[in-house]
Chain A
Amino acid sequence: MKIFYAFATLLLFAGLVSFTIINDGYSVGDTATDFELKNVDDSMVSLADFPDAKGFIITFTCNHCPYAVLYEDRLIDLHNKYAPMGYPVIAINPNDPAVQPADGFEEMKQRAEEKGFPFPYLFDEGQNVYPQYGATRTPHIYLLDADRKVRYIGAIDDSPRDAEAVEVKYVENAIAALEAGSNPDPDFTKAIGCSIKTKR
């Protein structure tokens, strides 16, 4: 019996380890799990709180990263345009404030107030959500549909440094595709950003 338990424990660990290694986060087509995270207004926010949503513009972002800051106004515009259509922005700060103090919860509250964020700005306390998504940088967008299916991953548009020089609005085009009942093209883009800050 002892041997059986030892073997079972070993199997369990092997399973956990391989799961951790294989899981690189979501690809387009995967279904995202819901979460419950603390918002800057101290309420808890889940995707289930938006039963009428046609989708979500999940944005991993933060206070300190210059690329995240460059997109703040564009995120506000996105939310103001698309939340009434059923696609709210849900911003999540994935950074560990022990590594990057500017991304602490109090600092998030302050920034949200300064900028007047019209969308939830959630704190991934304990850093359990961003690895599920596979986010690697800030900002990093995951566009979900009403079934929480991932439909687009990447950047908001093609010109992070200069809003004036934007030629392709990836997220807006992706939402237009969903509205038209088709698949976003491209459904995956890349952009320069700050690495997500974790303890070693």
Chain B
Amino acid sequence: MLYSVLVNVRLKNLKYFLVAVTALLSFNTASAQWQKEDLNIVYEYEELESIFEMDNDTTYLINFWATWCGPCVKEMPYFQEVADFYKDKAFKLILVSLDFEKHIETRLISFLNKHNIKGEQYVLLDGKTNKWIDKVDPQWSGAIPITIVYKGDKRRFYEQEFHNFEELNNIVEPIIN
């Protein structure tokens, strides 16, 4: 079908045709982004614990967030920039969403796709929060966002919002190098 359309295109219409094809292709890639089966949906905190225990040369940047959390949404672009910046290094971005189960498709996945969010995605649904907050970090009060950066034994915990790329990179750089 596409072929016959292509044959029928006159030279003067080629420009418009190319624009249409490009639009179609970009639409296709956009619609083939995050789907529910791409997310690690965790009902018990214990299933998440291994993300804090990787003993290798990779630097892990872990962010606890949610689409309902204003500061989390605001700082997300900087996490994406940092992930881009270290894409050729031993570096991994892990996002742990605290969105509600009923909002996984309507809010979380649509947010991830709309903003083309990269990284490994977890959704933590363990509702007994007092049981696991201290296990993530004893310093954590329970408010989000939080960020953990670690490589091997070097580990830092931050209960705060990051306001730009530099501020976030300042905590990653000493760990990765």
B62 beta carbon closer than 8 Å to chain A: no
* A192 touching B100, Cβ below 8 Å: no
Q: Which residues of A contact B100 (CB under 8 A)?
A: 66, 161
B141 beta carbon closer than 8 Å to chain A: yes
Q: Give the interface size bracket for A toward B.
A: 20 to 34
* B127 touching A137, Cβ below 8 Å: no
Q: Which residues of B contact A194 (CB under 8 A)?
A: 69, 143-144
Separation of A160 and B128 alpha carbons in the complex (Å): 8
* B133 touching A191, Cβ below 8 Å: yes
* A136 touching B142, Cβ below 8 Å: yes
A96: shortest Cβ distance to chain B, in Å? Answer: 12
> Of A162, A195, A197, which contacts B127 at CB under 8 A?
A162
Q: Which residues of B contact A81 (CB under 8 A)?
A: none
A159 beta carbon closer than 8 Å to chain B: yes
Given contacts A159-B127, A159-B128, A165-B127, whether A190 and B144 have CB atoms under 8 Å apart is: no
Separation of A154 and B129 alpha carbons in the complex (Å): 12
Residue among A155, A161, A167, A196 with the highest chain B CB neighbour number at 10 A: A161
Chain B residues bordering chain A, tally (CB within 8 A):
22
Interface residues of B in 49-83 (CB under 8 A from A): 68-71
Interface residues of B in 97-155 (CB under 8 A from A): 98, 100, 127-131, 133-134, 140-145
Separation of A160 and B70 alpha carbons in the complex (Å): 19
Query: Mask for A76-120, Cβ within 8 A of B = 1, else 0?
Result: 000000000000000000000000100000000000000000000
Nearest CB in chain B to that of A188: its residue: B130
Given contacts A100-B70, A190-B134, A191-B133, whether A196 and B127 have CB atoms under 8 Å apart is: no
* A190 touching B128, Cβ below 8 Å: no
Given contacts A136-B141, A137-B143, A200-B163, whether A192 and B129 have CB atoms under 8 Å apart is: yes
Q: Which residues of A contact B127 (CB under 8 A)?
A: 159-162, 165
* A195 touching B68, Cβ below 8 Å: no
Separation of A136 and B145 alpha carbons in the complex (Å): 12
A189 beta carbon closer than 8 Å to chain B: yes
Q: Which residues of B contact A196 (CB under 8 A)?
A: 143
* B128 touching A195, Cβ below 8 Å: no
Separation of A167 and B129 alpha carbons in the complex (Å): 12
A72 beta carbon closer than 8 Å to chain B: no
Chain A residues with CB under 8 Å of chain B are: 65-66, 100, 136-137, 154-155, 158-162, 165, 167, 189-197, 200
Please, could you name 17 A-B residue pairs with CB atoms under 8 Å apart, sorted by A? A65-B68, A66-B100, A136-B142, A137-B143, A155-B142, A158-B130, A160-B127, A165-B127, A190-B133, A190-B141, A190-B142, A191-B129, A192-B98, A192-B133, A192-B142, A193-B142, A195-B159
